[in-house]
């Protein structure tokens, strides 16, 4: 059964690529509008050979990792504060919930104005996109600690601190991981769009530069690399979840 669905999925991908190839080669037949998969592969190969591609990937990766790590740490801290202190919650909650729902990516041009064309305007966009889902998930995770388990620990005379470290924190872990996983996709969007607003290098810059030159193979090359990065990181996170919080599977 499982093997069957794998075969079907593979067939679906291969079939889709074939249809794409046929449409772009014979129906559209204009590299200014649509590049075929084979052209994209060639474009990636050429970009890689010239060394340009690595420069773009390096810059985008740097921006993503920096923003993502800062946002994760900040998000977990905000979530902790909101779960543990009523005052902190009243102060932070409206901002966190509000900004989570706001497409903060629209502030990209403003950050560019503030921080210049370098990497930090992009890092800031990534942070604003990733920090809020992480914070909210951390908070929810800590607040959903089972009262029954709290009582169990209390029956052994556990202190508040012990209950927090031995119970609340581990039971919040699946929620924190889910927030971090959500942050991957949002962070990647942040990097690309922020680079589109203005940058000297990066995959987003490669996209906008290729669009300006009507170089569809190069544009798709950047998109495919981004998609692959997203898929690989999300899959890696799912694997990590299975290892770190296996009890949530049932």
Q: Which residues bind other proteins (CB under 8 A)?
A: 148-149, 151-158, 162, 166-167, 170, 173, 245-247, 250
Nearer to other proteins, 15 or 246 (CB): 246
Of 89, 88, 175, 169, nearest to 133 by C-alpha is 175
Minimum distance from residue 161 beta carbon to other proteins (Å) = 11
Minimum distance from residue 163 beta carbon to other proteins (Å) = 9
Report in angstroms the alpha-carbon separations of 11 from 14, 113, 163: 5, 47, 51
The DSSP symbol for 23 reads: I
Minimum distance from residue 73 beta carbon to other proteins (Å) = 23
Nearer to other proteins, 58 or 151 (CB): 151
Q: Is the CB of residue 223 less than 8 Å from the CB of residue 189?
A: no
Nearer to other proteins, 138 or 145 (CB): 145
Nearer to other proteins, 104 or 171 (CB): 171
Of 135, 133, 125, 134, nearest to 190 by C-alpha is 125
Minimum distance from residue 239 beta carbon to other proteins (Å) = 18
The DSSP symbol for 200 reads: S
Minimum distance from residue 146 beta carbon to other proteins (Å) = 8
What six digits make up the tokens of 37?
């998969």
Minimum distance from residue 240 beta carbon to other proteins (Å) = 15
Nearer to other proteins, 70 or 169 (CB): 169
Q: How far apart are CA 172 and CA 145, in angstroms?
A: 7
**Planar angle of CA 210, 211, 213, nearest 5 degrees:** 65
Compute, in degrees rounded to 10, the torsion defined by CA atoms 153, 154, 160, 164: 20
Nearer to other proteins, 86 or 243 (CB): 243
């Amino acid at each position: 059964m499982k093997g069957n669905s794998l075969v079907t999925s593979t067939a679906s991908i291969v079939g889709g690529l074939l249809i794409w190839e046929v449409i772009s080669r014979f129906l559209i037949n204009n590299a200014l509008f649509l590049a075929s998969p084979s052209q994209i592969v060639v474009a990636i190969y050429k970009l890689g050979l010239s060394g340009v591609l690595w420069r773009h990937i390096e810059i985008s990766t740097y921006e993503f990792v920096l923003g993502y790590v800062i946002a994760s740490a900040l998000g977990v801290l905000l979530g902790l504060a909101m779960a543990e202190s009523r005052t902190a919650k009243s102060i932070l909650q409206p901002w966190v919930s509000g900004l989570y729902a706001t497409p903060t990516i629209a502030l990209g041009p403003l950050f560019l104005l503030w921080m210049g064309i370098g990497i930090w305007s992009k890092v800031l966009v990534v942070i604003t996109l990733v920090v809020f889902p992480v914070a909210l998930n951390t908070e929810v995770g800590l607040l959903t600690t089972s009262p029954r388990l709290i009582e169990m620990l209390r029956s052994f005379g556990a202190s508040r601190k012990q209950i927090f470290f031995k119970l609340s924190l581990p039971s919040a872990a699946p929620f924190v991981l889910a927030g971090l996983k959500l942050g991957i996709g949002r962070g990647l969007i942040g990097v690309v769009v922020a680079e589109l607003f203005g940058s000297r290098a990066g995959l987003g810059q490669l996209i906008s530069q290729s669009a300006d030159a009507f170089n569809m193979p190069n544009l798709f090359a950047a998109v495919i690399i981004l998609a692959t990065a997203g898929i690989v990181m999300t899959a890696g996170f799912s694997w990590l979840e299975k290892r770190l919080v296996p009890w949530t599977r049932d």
